[in-house]
Chains A and B, each alone.
With several copies, the nearest count.
Chain A
Amino acid sequence: MSAELIFSTLLSPIVLFFVLGLGAALMRSQMTVPQSFAKGLAIYLMMAIGLKGGVEMSKTALTPEIFGIAAIALILSLGMPFLAYMMLRVTSKMSRIDAAATAGHYGSISIVTFVAATQALELAGIVTSGYMVAMAALMEVPAIMSALILARRGMKKSGEVAGSEKGELFREVFLNASVVVLVGALAIGWITGEAGMSKISPFFVTPFQGVLCLFLLDMGLNAGRGLRQGWRQLDIGALSFGITMPLIGAALTTAICYAMGLSVGDAALLITLAASASYIAVPAAMRLALPKAQPSIYLTLSLGVTFPFNLTLGIPLYIMLAQWAGG
């Protein structure tokens, strides 16, 4: 079962296109997917995920269990940065502020990793709940707060950056594209339900996996370029953090899922969320909130190391963990 799972994940078209992009970038191909096209696809993907989750949520009532999972999701997003920060300060030579910013990325999540896990579960015939999309949305932002707390602890109070405005960080954090689109589409899916969805599913459901292939080709190119440009900046401690941190997050979450008795599918998704790291929303927030933290450090780690690991070996592993915890 497990060898088969790894095999079928690794040989799925979406992973193969990711590997194609990764390989091309590492071999210094100049090919690119135009940024604005890729950004358009990213918006499409988030709309599609949100709608799907919302429609499924519209079919079932809100049970206490859902609130329980939501609480866990929140705690994971808020708490994991502290764990990550300690690990980084011990195992790498990263400065306090770089460690805090990096830690924030690992409390937050990668929506593409989440989607890839959904696909792998579908392929394996394991059911998942629609409300897990809401958990993903819920885990995006809190980690940013923790990163700020960590960074400002013991920092001498500095003046305001020239030109900064009250509310700009709030808007960047709570009204960034992924929050707006994901939460908005979730709500729209919930409101319109199956009936509204039927008309738009030929665009948002049927071609979804294919679009994901094209998008992951671009993600592979980005991850490969990020790694090639940035790895020299990272010591071995930092680089290994990009793989050990997801594993620790996964282990921790597996234990929680076991204790809560979550279904295999939902557990696999929650473990994947905990193990994944942000590379869109959090970096953008960090440039505003902690401009002195170096983007080449946290982007290289989350996009160049953790994302490829999760997409290839991580996801089948997390599914196995969930099967073990749920079985």
Chain B
Amino acid sequence: MFTKKRLELIIEKPAMKRACRVLEDAGVKGYTIFPAMGGYGNSMRWQRGTDLSASRDMVMFICVFDADIITKVSAELENLFGSHIGVLSLSDVAVLRDDKF
């Protein structure tokens, strides 16, 4: 098994494409996006489907990548969070195929 970094990025849906570009430019080999259905932050609950503009929806990126590029990734994402709503966390994971990430 090989140790990699797992990034979990919860960000507002309108900024999704921007996050895609940030991750791709930083050189990750892949990521997957999941739709959130609700949440809480800033003392307020939100729920998907209560406004048709979907401008308050959130999505989660899960991205497994090599520790090498971590500085590049986090610097750019910090910039993104300067403007957009979201949270980010990093952890260690084990994977089977080293060259895949």
Residues of A within 8 A of B (CB): 32, 34-35, 38-39, 42, 159, 161-165, 168, 221-222, 225-226, 229, 279-284, 286-288, 291-292, 295-296, 299, 303
Annotate B49-62 by CB proximity to A: 1 below 8 A, 0 otherwise.
11111111000000
Q: Residue of A at shortest CB range from B49?
A: A35
A162 near B46 with CB under 8 A, answer: no
B92 within 8 A of A: no
B51 near A283 with CB under 8 A, answer: yes
A2–B8 Cα distance when bound, in Å, is: 58
A residues within 8 A CB of B52?
Answer: 35, 38-39, 42, 222, 279-280
- If A161-B18, A164-B18, A229-B46 touch, whether A284 touches B54 (CB-CB below 8 Å) is yes
B residues within 8 A CB of A280?
Answer: 52-53
B residues within 8 A CB of A38?
Answer: 49, 52
A286–B55 Cα distance when bound, in Å, is: 9
Residues of B within 8 A of A (CB): 12, 14-15, 17-22, 25, 44-56, 76-77, 79-80, 82-85
Nearest Cβ distance between residue B29 and chain A, in whole angstroms? Answer: 17
A162 near B76 with CB under 8 A, answer: yes
Some 11 contacts from A to B, beta carbons below 8 A apart, are A38-B49, A39-B52, A159-B79, A163-B15, A163-B17, A163-B19, A168-B18, A225-B50, A288-B14, A291-B84, A299-B56
Leading 7 A-B pairs by shortest Cβ distance = A163-B18, A287-B14, A35-B49, A162-B79, A163-B21, A283-B53, A163-B22
A20–B33 Cα distance when bound, in Å, is: 28
Nearest Cβ distance between residue B56 and chain A, in whole angstroms? Answer: 5
User: Known contacts A161-B79, A280-B53; can you find 10 more A-B pairs with CB under 8 A?
Assistant: A35-B48, A161-B84, A162-B79, A163-B19, A163-B21, A168-B18, A222-B50, A281-B53, A291-B84, A292-B83
A162–B25 Cα distance when bound, in Å, is: 10
Q: Residue of B at shortest CB range from A41?
A: B52
B15 partner, pick from A159, A229, A287, beta carbons under 8 A:
A287
Most interface-central of B12, B45, B83, B85 (chain A CB within 10 A): B83
